Structure 1
Amino acid sequence: MPETVLYVCTTCRAAEDPPDAPRAGARLLDALRAEIAGRPETDPAAALRVEGVECLSVCKRPCTVAVASPDRWTYVYGDLDPASSARTILDGLGRYAATPDGLVPWRERPEAFRKGVVARIPPFPASSAG
């Protein structure tokens, strides 16, 4: 199974975030890491690589994440709650990782993914150099 990477925008700021407090995106990253740590090694989320990134340029829809994997579609999701979305995100990404192309049927996606999708990006094509 190809590696799946979840990028979490750590600079996302919720409207109610105090200027000197950790930003909503950084709190979401911490919540995701804690949720993964509590799952069994057999859970698909245990193999997920989670990385914080400085900005995903979706500032009007915090919190934002992107999921990518070789030969699969890449998705960007926004409007995620830093306090309650970690389990939903990881469950949805388990479904994503189980597909050959990253295309999870609409009805099988968590509601947060159906409502929060910002972009769906096709897989990078294999090199045609020859």
Structure 2
Amino acid sequence: MRDQATPSNPTELLVCVKCRRGREIPEEGRRPGQALFDALDALALPDGVRVTPVDCLQNCDHGCTVALRGGARWTYVFANVDEVADPDMILDGAALYHATADGLIPWRTRPEHFKRNCVARIPPMES
């Protein structure tokens, strides 16, 4: 049986909080990745979606990076996210992802940014 989008199989939105977006930022300065996490955390999250900060997604040369995963769905990693302009788009994409059983958002309904900035698509551990 395929994974269903249910509260027992939430969608996790991972946000790299260490991202500097190629800028020189003092060690005590607020990084763009942290600003992105803070912006997402301040918004109303779609049902079934939780946002989780992570220390590094190892995509440092490509701006802020987020990932979507959950249950037996495919995991997606997206780059070049802007901490100011993109939080609503990310949450729209997370809601679309959560509504799928397999994590595969139909191409024509994906946010344009997701179409052009997918770094990786990782198969589920379970099928």
Tell me the residue number matched to 1:102. Answer: 103
> Partner letter of residue 18 of structure 2?
T
Deviates further, 117-126 or 76-85? 117-126
1:10-59 deviations in Å (ceiling 9; x for gaps): 011023453242101000000101122xx6xxxxx143111100000001
Are the aligned partners of 2:97 and 2:105 in contact in 1 as well (CA < 8 Å)?
yes
What does 1:67-86 align with in structure 2 at a 5 Å threshold? 67-86=68-87
* Unaligned residue ranges in structure 1 (runs of 5+): 40-44
Partner of 1:24: 32
In the TM superposition, what whole-angstrom CA distance separates every residue of 1:77-116 from its partner, at most 9, and x where no partner exists? 0000001111000001111111110101111100111111
Q: Which residue of 1 aligns with 2:3?
A: none
**Residues 1:110 and 1:17: Cα distance change in structure 2 (over 3 Å):** farther
Any conservation in 1 of the 2:11–2:98 contact (CA below 8 Å)? yes
Percent identity between matched residues is: 45
What letter is aligned with 1:28?
A: L
Alignment of 1:29-48 (within 5 A): 29-36=37-44, 45-48=46-49
TM-score normalised to structure 1 length? 0.86
Q: Give me the CA root mean square deviation.
A: 1.4
Return the TM-score normalized by structure 2: 0.87
Structure 1 counterpart of 2:20: 13
